[in-house]
Structure formats: structure tokens, C-alpha cells
A and B are shown apart, each in its own frame.
Chain A
């Protein structure tokens, strides 16, 4: 199975049709409609801002940490939506799977595209917040593109894997919810990574490095903050030497190809199992 095969003309048309269907249906019969996709993370942000920044004084040593918090939240939301939505997508389309043949990858990709559109709306809000907060646009902002590509591939790889497993094992839904919760706290979102190194005793700096090396989302959020908001957010590049610093990217790609391969193998039997 070559990735190129997925993007035949037929599949591109199908992808377009599925994404636009999802777009149409997502906020059907809700008064505020698409405003919710921006409003929800903003409200979440407001709570966390009050609790962690105002009250607990997290990130006081990092400039513009409020913007960094918002960026972290929406990047995490994107990861969460892509993986959770992707996990449910195959089972959710079971009715279709049993009646007609089509490339199963499209279902997962379509659900990830919906998450991507959501992320797009939210990212505009982040940029507005940057401006309000006095973070000026700079050429380094362009580096957010490869970082987002890395995040997208990582999320898609995980989504492929989860979608394939979920067909057989419906327990995965609550399990993944808990994993996501743990991941949220294990990723520097509500706190800056410097907090791990400074507050976790002698082992602090090592823990921080381990987090960046073992949790690709930690490196992704940290890099994004570094290039978008302030270089005061350290990245793995500053802590580890060259070839090793590439590890999180390699790790993400491994997850992507691994998930993709697993899904491709398993997808042959989805129709009989869902």
C-alpha cells in the first residue's frame, strides 16, 4: 500500500464530499453553530487562565504565557479531536462500510480534516491574541508550518491505529479518554516546561528532557511556543545535540507510518467486523 494510492481522483472527490458533509452536519440545529468551535476552547482557556496563571501564578517567568497557554490548548485540542474523532470514524461509518467498497483511509482522513478546519478557526484567534498581547509577527512564525505538519502526521498516525483497534475493542473509548487526560497534564500546556526543570528537584532537568523526548506533543507544543511567542520557551534543540534532537520528529514519523501500516493491514476486514 503506497500512500500515493489514497489520493486518486476518486478518493479526492470522496474526501471532499465527506468533509463537506461533516462540516454541514456538525453544528446542525445549534443556535451559535460554528462559533462554538472557537468559543469552547476560549472558555476553557478563560478557566485555566484564572486558575493557573492568575491564581497559581504558573508561567510567571515566561513572557506572554497567557498566549502560550491558549496556543497550547488549541494545539492539544486539535490532537485530541483528530485522534478521538478518527478512532470513532470507522465504527461510525459501519453502515456504509457494509454496503459499498471505498478506501477506508478516507474516513479517518476526512475526520482529521474536520479537526483541521476547527484548528484553523482557532489559530486565527491565537494570532489575534498575539497581537493584543504585544507579540509581534516575525519570520520565525513561518516555522509553525512544519511543526503543524508534524503534529498532523502524528495525530493521524495515532488516529489510524486507534480506529483499527476500536473496531474490535470498544473499551478503547474510555481508555483513550483517560490517556488524553494524562497526556494533557504530561504536556507543557498549563505550565511552561521550565517548571519541570526548576521545581522537580535534582532530577528536574532530566525529567524535562525525557518529557520532550518521549512525548512528541511536548516537543511540538514547546517548539510552537518557541517560534510563535517567545524564544524564552526552550526547545529540545537547545538542550540536546543535533542528531538526538531530531528524535521526536523521527518518533512522530514512526508513529505515523506504523499507524498507517497497521490500519492498511486491518482495513481489509473492517466490513465484516463492524
Chain B
């Protein structure tokens, strides 16, 4: 399976919904959910009575989701991203009918199979086989239906020798593997997955990735909650970014992944009045473009060299070595910091200029963003934060380096 050609084949949002005559798998309208969080431990009779007498409510209401509406078409691979505590998991539980919404409606068309909190609910005293059958019953399958899926499940989980063992004798990784296999190999119509790729060893993660591509090819409806933006870009047809219990953005997975990555940027520092003045006086970045062979690009292959073109406006003559282009990776680590010149002689005169940098692409798979800054003695003055964003295509690996300089390494195997 070629993992790399996936980004280009991503269908447009409108196409997915209209080109699919079978209609919607999920329809969510105006859903809100709040929880009562006990302020003092109100779980005992004593406290309940005391609180009641003292007129204390004993809890405060936290609004986790506010007026959420969206649709998922049949056959769509739908991603949900958001920070911890933003309400993603609550939304999944609402979709899976585990929670009841305070208001609004959720319509599900088809058999929904959830994989939430790393499991489908196993009993440690039962054997693996018994657990598969009990779980199948919980998901609404008959014994005959489970019989027909059983071998598939065991094979995917790679637990053939362990199925007659009690689950309490499994390692935690084995338990999760079995649970995940049950979820994906059971013949449900809609698969709801919460943070699955965070578990399992490398081989199993690879298997899950393969399964995702398979699911995409077979046009299975999958709802995936994840923190991995590469996964969102690679698998999802559409995605949604939840922030503070609201849909902050929905649509194209690339845009969603960008929005999510942006939300982690450090909050804009209070720029001192005089610095703003200084910056405005010295240099302004009008535009920055990333070009590959003269064409504007956002997605690059590994080792695909590119040009950065900057339109700048200076109010005075500057030394080019003091102007920097800084490239940060998705974890906000500066990867490359490139001055516009490496000697003292090159200067940029006052006025508008177009500066072009040819950059040898040593960057590994991932998301990157570019800041433009001016070095003024010991101060680094930000000219433009997030002037540009781009993405290097590739495959997610458990260990990912930031750079990928093939020529720097000489390998000989004898």
C-alpha cells in the first residue's frame, strides 16, 4: 500500500456529501451537554443532608458542549481534534449513546461500534474467547455472527495462542489489541475510535494504519478522535476542531490540522509600545511564498528542495545577515534558522525588495511553520509570526526525527 499518495486523493467536502446517495450516517443537531461537578463530596448521605439543610447545591455545573451541530455522511472518514478537556470524548460518548444530551438530537443510521477509553469493556475473569463473545453480545451480534468474525478478530489481534487464557493474564497491550480488533473486525456500520494509535507496539500501529487505509478504500464510516495531525491529514475526508465545547472549525482536514497546531502556539506576547514602533520603522514583511520549481506549494515530498520568496519593505539600509527566516516544527522546536546572508557585506537598501532563498530540504515528515525575525544586537524582534505553513509528506513512525539529511550519513554494510 502506498501511504504517500493519500493526500492528493482527498475528496472535497462537498463532493463527499453530495456524491453519496445513501445519505447521512450521523446527524447531530444543537447538542449541549453539561455535567454537575460536586464541590464537596456529596456522595454520602451525611453530606447530602448537610448540604440540603444549609441550602448548598453541592455541585457546580460545567458546560462541556455547547450547541454542536454537524453531519457525517456514510462512507466518510471523519476526524475530531481538540485539546484535552475540550469535549471531544464527551461528544463521542454522546454519539455512542453512552451519555444523553441535555438538549438537541443525535440520529445514527446503522450499527455503531465504539472503541472508547481504550476498550470495549472486558471481564478479567473470563477467557479471551468468552470476552469476545460477551462483547459481541453487547454490540448486538448473535453468536452465529460472532462465529463468523471470530477468526478474523483473533488473527488481527495476533493472540491465537492466548484466546483460552483468562484476560487477567494478558498484558495491558494485549488487552487493548484484542479490544481494538473486536471493534474494527465486528461488522458494524459506523466505527467510533477514541485515541487508538497511541497504544500498541510498532507492528500493531502499522497494522492499524493499514487498516485505516483499508477502511477508507472500502468507504467505511469512521469517526476518529486523535491528537495526531498527520493522521488527520492522511486519513480524514473531513475533520472538525472543537475548542471549549464549540465547533471552532469544520471542513478540510488540512485546514483543521493547521488550526489545531496554531492553537498551541504560545499566546502573543505583549509587545512593548516602543518595540512595535521600532519594528514598524525598520522592516515589514509583505508576503512570503514557498515555491517548488516556480509553483506555489504547501505539501512537499521529503528531500524536495524549495524556494522561499519574501517581499520586504525596509525603511533603512540593513545588514542582510540580521534578517532571519526561522522554521519551527509541529512541536514548536526551531529546526532551521536561516539568515538572509552569512557575510557582513551584503546589505539591503531602504525600500521594497524581493528576497529569494533556495533551501535544501532536509526536513522529515511533519508540519512546519515559518517566522520572520530581525536580529538587533542581542534582541530578536519578530517581524512576522507564522508567515507561512507547510507540510512534508511521509509516514508516521513511533520515532520521528526532525531532519532527514541523507547525504550527511554514510552507511556501509559488510
CB-based closest 10 A-B pairs? A101-B97, A17-B137, A96-B121, A171-B45, A268-B100, A10-B140, A99-B121, A271-B98, A14-B137, A13-B137
Whether A57 is near chain B, meaning CB under 8 Å from some CB there, is no
Contact with A along B11-24 (1 / 0, CB 8 A): 00000000000000
CB under 8 Å from chain A, chain B span 116-165: 116-117, 119-121, 123, 125-126, 130, 133-134, 137-143
Is the CB–CB distance between A100 and B98 below 8 Å?
Answer: yes
> How many B residues touch A, CB cutoff 8 Å?
31
- Where the two chains meet, the residues of B that have a C-beta atom closer than 8 Å to any C-beta of A are 35, 43-46, 48, 93, 96-100, 114, 116-117, 119-121, 123, 125-126, 130, 133-134, 137-143
Contact of B117 among A14, A98, A269 (CB under 8 A): A98
Is the CB–CB distance between B139 and A272 below 8 Å?
Answer: no
Contact of A272 among B35, B114, B117 (CB under 8 A): B35
Measured CB to CB, the closest approach of chain B to A220, in angstroms, equals: 30
Given known A14-B137, A100-B114, contact A21–B126 (CB-CB < 8 A): yes
Contact of A101 among B46, B98, B126, B143 (CB under 8 A): B98
With a cutoff of 8 Å between Cβ atoms, the chain B residues found around residue A99 in the complex are: 98, 114, 116-117, 119-121
Cα distance, A16 to B123, chains bound together (Å): 16
Measured CB to CB, the closest approach of chain A to B127, in angstroms, equals: 10
Is the CB–CB distance between A97 and B98 below 8 Å?
Answer: yes
CB under 8 Å from chain B, chain A span 69-117: 95-102
Cα distance, A169 to B96, chains bound together (Å): 26
Number of interchain pairs (Cβ within 8 Å): 74
Contact of B99 among A9, A25, A271 (CB under 8 A): A271
Cα distance, A13 to B126, chains bound together (Å): 18
Is the CB–CB distance between A169 and B125 below 8 Å?
Answer: no
Measured CB to CB, the closest approach of chain B to A27, in angstroms, equals: 12
With a cutoff of 8 Å between Cβ atoms, the chain B residues found around residue A138 in the complex are: none
With a cutoff of 8 Å between Cβ atoms, the chain A residues found around residue B98 in the complex are: 97-101, 271
Give 27 CB contacts A-B under 8 Å. Answer: A9-B142, A10-B140, A13-B137, A13-B140, A13-B141, A13-B142, A16-B137, A18-B134, A18-B137, A21-B134, A28-B125, A95-B121, A96-B121, A97-B98, A98-B98, A99-B119, A100-B116, A100-B121, A100-B139, A101-B96, A102-B138, A168-B43, A169-B43, A170-B44, A171-B44, A175-B45, A272-B99
